[in-house]
Chain A
Amino acid sequence: MKRAPLKLLSVLGFFLLWAIIAAAVNSPDVPGPAEVGLFVAREASSGELFYNLAVTLSRVAAAFLISLIVGSAIGIVMGQNRAVDRILDPWIIIFVNLPALVIIVLCYIWMGLTEVAAVTAVALNKIPNVVITMREGARSLDPKLSEMARVFRFSRMRTIRHVVLPQLQPFIAAAGRSGLALIWKIVLVVELLGRSNGVGFQIHLYFQLFDVAAILGYTLAFVIVMLAIEFSVVQPLEHHLTRWRPKPA
């Protein structure tokens, strides 16, 4: 637990630096932590903050789950089957290079300004990355363990749960980590372009009012939510899943 105070100190240092810069510039365009904190408190007491955070978070969760499941399925098949890999590889390269904005705009045009279009657009942006990571994972599956499972007549479920998934776990974690960060950034753009609620919409709104404290307030609030997820869900889960690894002394 020696690392915790150091981390805390680092975070405090960040806020201190921010406060000093804000005081030095002394402009309404660069609000200090206190002003931003005040906005967050006001927005929280009206309920507005939590509503918009929840809306954005649910979009992030939906897009995250869809892209992880669909991307994993495609990636694993590609990693295990050379023919499928050759056929789908150019598609993946095309999709991974399509600008997020193009996918979002096209989804809204073709599917209307709907929730489905928003989540689909975000998922489509993320799926190629998941595919590439999971394909790598599927290629690295140990054939010796698969043979063992066959010799001992493991059922399909048993093989997936005890032989395949533990080997894919680091790749799933990597795809998830980078996925969560990328997805919430894209969700904000999607909200800005075609939704009437969520953090992205609020930032758009306050951009038109040039209210920088509000923009930073929403950003800060969401970053805190993501940090909370990282520390309360992602890290303990990872720790649990890698408990079998030999620990460095």
Chain B
Amino acid sequence: MSADGEESEILRDLAFTLEAGTFTCLIGPSGCGKTTTLRILLGLDRDFSGTVTMPAGNVRTVAVFQEPRLLPWRTVEQNVRLALPPGATPDIQPLFATLGLQAMLDRYPSELSLGLERRVALARAFAVMPDVLLLDEPFVSLDEHTAERLRELLIELWRRHAVTVLMVTHNVREAVQLADRLLLMNGRPAGIVGDVAVPMERSKRSGDRLQQFLDELTRNHAQTVRA
């Protein structure tokens, strides 16, 4: 349902399965329904027909939103601790250390740069040790240097915590650098139009090899992927 009250179908026949512990990127043009897909997975959008099946047991799904969505009236540390389940007191200092936030714990979000706020949002998501982590273009409107640093941190945290990641992005280069698998989304209503594995090792995803892969991807999915 759009703001003017008109009903429109955004997604149709959208189906995919995520392997536990893998890193998947959802790519597609702006406004095609990637964020809606995440909102459905998060249970924030109930206006759909279909099913979302999570693994058995108490599965924790958390998100890093497009905007950091921190509580402005709580400090960095309080923002992270408030997200923890009641009674849980894990040692989150190493996490703060990894993300370079130790000196910021008593600051309020308004005192931080966007890049730092994004780090806090990452810390908050990882502190709860989720089974599934959904990220919605978490690095947009950052300078390339900061974005690159945060991507490295994300991969480091993902490795350490063995979490299943689904990240929405329209930055194809970023997706190819990070993911095990790319899900390409397009159409109106949108569905999955491509499912591409990224076979290279992460350390080798640079220079010519990365460019070659990107070129091939762009050629095969010209409608969806624009390098």
A pairs with B? yes
Residues of A within 8 A of B111 (CB): 246
Known contacts A162-B71, A244-B108, A148 near B65 by CB under 8 Å? yes
| Nearest CB in chain B: distance from A116 CB, A | 38
Verify if B110 is at the interface (C-beta below 8 Å from A).
yes
Verify if B209 is at the interface (C-beta below 8 Å from A).
no
A166 to B78, CA, bound (A): 14
**Quick check: B83 and A162 within 8 Å, CB to CB?**
no
Verify if A150 is at the interface (C-beta below 8 Å from B).
yes
A148 to B72, CA, bound (A): 13
Known contacts A145-B71, A166-B71, A166-B73, A244 near B82 by CB under 8 Å? no
Verify if B62 is at the interface (C-beta below 8 Å from A).
yes
Q: How many residues on chain A are close to B (CB under 8 Å)?
A: 17
Q: Report A69-93 CB contacts with B as 1/0, cut-off 8 Å.
A: 0000000000000000000000000
A155 to B69, CA, bound (A): 18
Known contacts A147-B44, A244-B72, A152 near B110 by CB under 8 Å? no
**Quick check: A244 and B110 within 8 Å, CB to CB?**
yes
A153 to B124, CA, bound (A): 13
Closest B residue to A241 by CB, please name it.
B73
Binding site for A on B (CB under 8 A): 42-44, 61-63, 65, 67, 69, 71-74, 82-83, 85-86, 108, 110-111, 124, 128
Binding site for B on A (CB under 8 A): 144-145, 147-148, 150-155, 158, 162-163, 166, 244-246
Can you sample 6 A-B contacts with CB below 8 Å?
A150-B43, A163-B71, A166-B71, A166-B73, A244-B74, A244-B108
